Amino acid sequence: MLSPASALCPALFITAPASGEGKTTITAALARLLSRQGKRVRVFKTGPDYLDPQILQLASRQPVVQLDMWMAGEDWCQQQLFLAAQTADLIIIEGAMGMFDGQPSSADLAARFNIPMVIVMDVKAKAQTAAVLAMGLANYRDDVQVVGLMANHCASNRHRELIEQTLPNDLPLVACLANSEQIKLPERHLGLVQAQEINTELEGLLEAGADVLVATGIADFIAGLAPVTFFEQPLAPLPALLKNLRIAVAKDVAFSFIYQANIQLLIDMGAELRYFSPLSDSVIPAADALWLPGGYPELHAQTLADNHSLLQSVNDFHRQHKPILAECGGLLYVLQSLQTLAGESYNMAGLLAGQGVMKARGGCQGMQTAALPEGELRGHAHHRSASQGTPEAMSFGRRANHPAPGEAIYREGSLTASYLHLFFPSNPTAIARLFKPVG
């Protein structure tokens, strides 16, 4: 039996004790620093995240793929790392939430692929305690290798010394950032502001972040990382089940929560993708199926409502019984109306009875399996809105780690709509059946 192919590449997993410690800001700054030094950096993001990858892709000037062992499967994640390792000078993975949060967690992913971790910690208002917390995280599991601490919001040289003197020799303080507020990435209710909305400002933040990291000496630490062995995991060839199928894909600042892996799968299965903007285009391009992904329709509700010709085009498409998939923001768009946080209500496409209502707090998030007639698909939900007055659901998502019913899944003629964001590679055959029904 032949041994599996392998590729060697230095790699680093950037984690933290919690969300909000500065992981994305530092990961993006590091990617930009190394990129402008001429290094090819491939960045991955742990978990079902749409916003961070937009920033990280701009920072690294390379495509960014989400890695999640539950949603995508271990084999799929292994193959993505193997492919990246063949051409990259460095692989960086940014974790999600805290180091041990979630099932599987960032630590689980790092352990599975033998990737060393560095902890980013906001050390404001703590000194020796920060070091002790880092030691606790580093030693909690024997199968996780933590190779350093990066201190964010370090107030002074004395502050640094107190942390550094408390750390053991095998857990060095590899970088200190005095004040990352000057390079902090702007946020809103679902996470970071989209890269395409602040492109010019973001370029300045990334360059400033890279400059800040230069002074920390982080480049020497990166240069000393040992290569990691990534093994090939051949995946089953994708059948050309979507050959010659034209899929119209909504894509603009209102609809942008799109996994690159989903796009690639559709293309690899033979589909021709035709992008359009519900904000500015008057008609859907000629297509056999329509995909309305998630995004921020609530921030552009009036513009969407005023584009009567496009709304009419969506209705015409539905009346022709062509398949439509509407996810989260897409669901809000196909309802009869959408109410903003200000209480203003705007007419939407009206393919599905009901009203979307934005909420200041609450909402839903978490991994779920969508049980569709076409087959089961894995995905997740993350929203701060509710749908009211909707018809009876066809089915409900099955939560990965909780017995309560998940998101409602609606089927209205050729329309499939839900708050769930589906990860297409979790079941390519089901996706093919969804966009190209048999018969």
Q: Which residues are catalytic?
A: 328
Spatial contact of 424 and 432, defined as CB atoms under 8 Å apart: no
Phi, then psi, of 193 in degrees rounded to 5: -70, 140
Buried b (16+ CB within 10 A) or exposed e, 384-415: bbbbeebeeebbbbbbbeeeeebbbbbbbebb
Query: Whole-angstrom Cα distance, residue 133 to residue 137?
Result: 6
8 Å CB contact between 433 and 382: no
**What gap in Å lies between CA 163 and CA 323, rounded to an integer?**
58
Whole-angstrom distance, CA of residue 181 vs CA of residue 152: 10
224 vs 427: CA distance, rounded Å: 40
8 Å CB contact between 424 and 431:
yes
Helix (H, G, I), strand (E, B) or coil at 263: helix
Q: Cα dist. 69→77, 111, 256, 279 in Å?
A: 7, 12, 23, 35
